[in-house]
Amino acid sequence: MSYSYIDSDILLQPLLAQISSASTLLLDTEFIRVSTYFPKLGLLQLHLNAVDYLIDPLAINSINLLWDAIFSDHRLFVFHSCKEDLDVLQVCAQKLPGRVFDTQVAAAFLGYGASLGYAGLVEKVCDVTVAKDQTLTDWLARPLTAAQKLYAAKDVSYLQYLYDHLSQELNTTGKTEWFNEEMTALLEAKQQAVIPDELFREISGAWQLYPSELAVLRELAKWRYQTAISEDKPQNFIVREEVLADLSRKRPQTERELAQTDISYQQKNRYADAILQCIQKGMECPVELHPARIKRIMDFPHYKHDFKQIKQRVEIAAQDNNLPVELLGSRKLINQYLLWTYEGKSSDVEQPKITSGWRNKLLNL
């Protein structure tokens, strides 16, 4: 198997016209996101005109010309398991595709499994074994070995065949419309802005806190998110979730009191002033602006019974339509629906996914 390694502007230049004129782009990315908030792109793989291209973004100066070519038209982007690849594109190119075909999601609609990996899907559809022996590669290290390059190239080698086969099978089974709807929803979700003042609701243990404590947690969660972005570190590298909850309960007023909480010595030294300011701001929040206590879904009366009833309906519909239960109605989606109903179908609560589109047609809730 051969591939073309693009590690200079001279090699990239003739490829740009091919990219710009392509109606479909078959892509993958290799990146590192271990100790940073944002993913760091190490390699961009592209299958184009029967050739596998490995584009080295660390060696190319005119990287913006590459992004301009990739996003020059409303073309279809084909990935396998695209959510993290879309994150990479959002960060590096500051853009998202207008249309996406995710072969993993397509395979799920066709009964291959809920989250089948690329190698597993290639083996089932193409009857080819793809080695996964380079998964722990540091894609920012140079030089890349021949084995690493070959591994990366194979991640796009079979995308064209998978796309052709799966799109045809979606048409044959009458599921193309369902799939397209799911892809649209995926892209819309990626475009939704984070609301910093609402991040406290996602903190583990937030449901145990009283409104006055939640007012403090709201400030701390917002500060942690903004600090993670500005310092390009994972949020738990700033302060762990359980520490935020502990700080919201104890509400230390001095560095001495802060040292008596679960915060690490290094974090206290670096962030003490900012943390104490957040706590003070939260404590000064007027009572009428305190968040309401967070209700756990399992604390509602009849939750277990209601969940079981919906789950049974999902299982029957999934079996009848050769769909994974996780795709049609996961626990998260069922809980979203039940919370919506318990809250009186309030417009303040996001309308559940299973009450609209293809899921609603199958479940009729």
pLDDT tens by residue, 82-130: 999 999 999 999 999 999 999 999 999 999 999 999 999 999 999 999 9
The better pLDDT of the pair 344, 199 is held by: 199
Secondary-structure class of domain 297-363 per CATH: mainly alpha
Q: Which of 358, 314, 321 is nearest to 335 (CA)?
A: 314
Among residues 52, 56, 85, 169, the one annotated as catalytic is 85
CA separation for the pair 19, 84 (Å, rounded): 22
Q: Strands of 99-102's sheet, edge to edge?
A: 4-6, 51-55, 40-48, 24-32, 76-79, 99-102
Active site residue 28: yes
Q: Confirm whether 197 is a catalytic residue.
A: no
Q: How many Cα atoms sit within 13 Å of 56 on the Cβ side?
A: 20
Nearest to 185 by CA among 364, 361, 362, 351: 351
Q: How confident is the model at residue 350 (pLDDT cuts 50, 70, 90)?
A: confident
Is the pLDDT reported for residue 346 higher than 80? Answer: no
Q: CA torsion, points 283, 287, 291, 293, in degrees to nearest 10? A: 100
pLDDT at residue number 73:
83
Whole-number percent of the chain with pLDDT over 90: 94
Task: Determine which one of 102, 155, 169, 213 is catalytic.
Answer: 155
Please state whether 291 falls in left (phi above 0), alpha (psi between -120 and 50) or beta.
beta
Active site residue 337: no
DSSP string, 119-158: HHHHHHHH------TTTT--TTSSSPPHHHHHHHHHHHHT
**Which is catalytic among the residues 3, 28, 169, 182?**
28
Residue 133: per-residue pLDDT:
85
- CATH 1.10.150.80 domain position(s) in the chain: 196-289, 297-363
Average confidence score pLDDT of the chain? 95
> Which of 4-13, 193-202, 345-354 is the least confident region?
345-354
As annotated, the residues of the chain forming the CATH 3.30.420.10 domain(s) are: 4-191
30: annotated active-site residue:
yes
Least confident of 5-14, 128-137, 304-313: 128-137
Neighbours of 106 (CB within 10 A): 25
pLDDT band at 348; cut points 50, 70, 90:
low
Measured distance CA(217)–CA(294) in Å, rounded: 12
Looking at per-residue confidence, does 345 or 14 come out higher?
14
pTM beyond 0.85, yes or no: yes
Instruction: Name every residue whose Cβ is closer than 8 Å to that of residue 154 and which is 6 or more positions away in sequence.
Output: 1, 52, 130, 131
Inform me whether the pLDDT recorded for 204 exceeds 70.
yes
Q: CB burial class (10 A; 0-12, 13-18, 19+) of residue 354?
A: buried
**How confident is residue 340, by pLDDT bands cut at 50, 70 and 90?**
very high
Q: Any idea of the CA torsion for 75, 69, 60, 103, to the nearest 10 degrees?
A: 0
- Report the pLDDT value the prediction gives residue 153, as an integer from 0 to 100: 97
Catalytic residue among 3, 30, 112, 342: 30
Q: What is the pLDDT of residue 29?
A: 98
Q: Active site residue: 37, 112, 151, 342, which one?
A: 151
Tokens of 117: 């990996």
- 43-80 pLDDT, tens digit each: 999 999 999 999 999 999 999 999 999 999 889 999 99
CATH number assigned to the domain covering 4-191: 3.30.420.10
The better pLDDT of the pair 303, 350 is held by: 303
Give exposure, 172-203, as e/b (b: 16+ Cβ within 10 Å): eeebbebbeebbeeebeebeeeeebeebbeeb
Pairing outcome for strands 4-6 and 51-55: parallel
The whole-number pLDDT of residue 136 equals 84
Whether 210 is catalytic? no
Q: Is residue 2 predicted with pLDDT exceeding 90? A: no
Domain 196-289 = CATH 1.10.150.80: yes
Q: How far apart are the first and last CA of the chain?
A: 51
**What backbone torsions phi and psi does residue 234 show, to the nearest 5 degrees?**
-60, 150
pLDDT of residue 349: 67
